[in-house]
Every structure is written in structure tokens, then in C-alpha cells.
């Protein structure tokens, strides 16, 4: 899944983190992911030592696929 996403974002001319960030932002805007979910996800990333939510795209991918 991650490999496919990386390839897609590469074809679109953007790095993986930027692509995931835009995807999540659009998902929130469309109501597919709530702001509460984003806050919980950010907290999980921070607790994992990543600091910023988008520094660990795998957490985002795993979360968004569920």
C-alpha cells in the first residue's frame, strides 16, 4: 500500500509526506476523517517519537485504510 502511494505521489510530482498531508486534509474537508481523529493521530505520532503527524506516513496510511 505504501509503495503504491509513494509511486502515485511521485507521478503527481510531490513527495510522499506532502501527498499524505493533502490527502488527509481533503478527507477532513469531505467529512471522511474528523478533526478529532486528526488530533488523536497527531498525538499518536508525537508519542511514537515522530514529533509531527506527517513525519510517519505509515501511521497515516494504516489509519486511513481502516
pLDDT digits (tens, 9 = 90+) for 17-57: 777 777 777 777 777 766 666 666 666 655 555 444 444 55
- Those residues with Cβ within 8 angstroms of residue 33's Cβ, 6 or more apart along the chain or in another chain: 24, 27, 64
Residue the block writes with cell 503527524: 53
**pLDDT score at 53:** 45
Indicate if the pLDDT at residue 1 is higher than 70. no
- Helix axes 35-47 and 57-65, enclosed angle (nearest 10): 140
Report pTM. Answer: 0.45
List the chain domain ranges. Answer: 2-65
pLDDT for residue 16: 76
Task: Write down the pLDDT at residue 59.
Answer: 57
Report helix, strand or coil for 55. Answer: helix
Amino acid at each position: 500500500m505504501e509503495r503504491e502511494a509513494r509511486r502515485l505521489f511521485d507521478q503527481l510530482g510531490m513527495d510522499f509526506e506532502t501527498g499524505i498531508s493533502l490527502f488527509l486534509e481533503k478527507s477532513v474537508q469531505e467529512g471522511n476523517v474528523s478533526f478529532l481523529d486528526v488530533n488523536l493521530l497527531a498525538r499518536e505520532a508525537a508519542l511514537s517519537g515522530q514529533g509531527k503527524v506527517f513525519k510517519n506516513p505509515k501511521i497515516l496510511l494504516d489509519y486511513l485504510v481502516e
